[in-house]
Structure 1
């Protein structure tokens, strides 16, 4: 029997023309750059999950959290197969002076701000899927 799909919530944390990314250390997508986020817990709203995951991973408080898009990716090449439905939210820093911390070093090599037009490679597959769709987390920008 195939494993059930997993629902993840990822956050486009935007500041100027940049987004916050970290390099994954987990088995799925190891070494790829990804947005902060994680698994949706029972009874949580997408907004609650976004705020919790960003806080748990980076120590940052966020505001203006809103749904922007969704992706559907299947990882069959991994030792542990994964069907990930990723719900994407956009948010901004509650305090622009906050700096990201690497609170879960066993899961991430660290967080940094990257120019949306010059993202590091390789990207986590769901984020790559978003890019290929032409989506931009900057609402005023035409892509």
Structure 2
């Protein structure tokens, strides 16, 4: 059997005024329940990156992106998985964002970068480093 990496579109949503949107992973989340994280989703066959981000943001936060900016790409190597993460900064209307997938998330909140909640998802610091480097 040949294993290949999967592709994920990771997005850090912001309000254009310095705050970022994080979601707390529910007890039914795939991994790290209770951890705060940005959004992400697998790229589907035939989708552009922007189409995937638009679909995933709308599914997760129940509102479409206002602006999408590519930040970069990183490898995510974890036991039993390998993802190529294409990372984006996405502007959202903060008044419109709400939980669109309650089976994955149980809380959404806006935070200033120096005032992040705990615990953070293990991959989030690596993603946020790409935001601050941009």
- The structure in which a higher percent of residues are helix is 2
TM-score by length of 1: 0.79
Matches within 5 A, 1:1-143: 1=1, 3-15=3-15, 16-25=17-26, 26-76=29-79, 81-93=80-92, 96=93, 98-131=95-128, 134-137=129-132
Bigger CA drift: 13-22 or 96-105?
A: 96-105
Q: How many residues matched?
A: 131
SS in 1 for 2:51: helix
Runs (5+) with no aligned partner, structure 1 = none
Q: How far apart, in 2, do the equivalents of 1:38 and 1:127 lie?
A: 14
Q: 1:41 to 1:63 in 2, by over 3 A?
A: same
Check whether the contact 1:8–1:38 (CA below 8 A) recurs between aligned residues.
yes
Check whether the contact 1:60–1:98 (CA below 8 A) recurs between aligned residues.
no
Q: How far apart, in 2, do the equivalents of 1:138 and 1:62 lie?
A: 22
Q: Deviations over 1:78-107 (max 9, x none)?
A: xxx2222211111212xx363322121111
Runs (5+) with no aligned partner, structure 2 = none
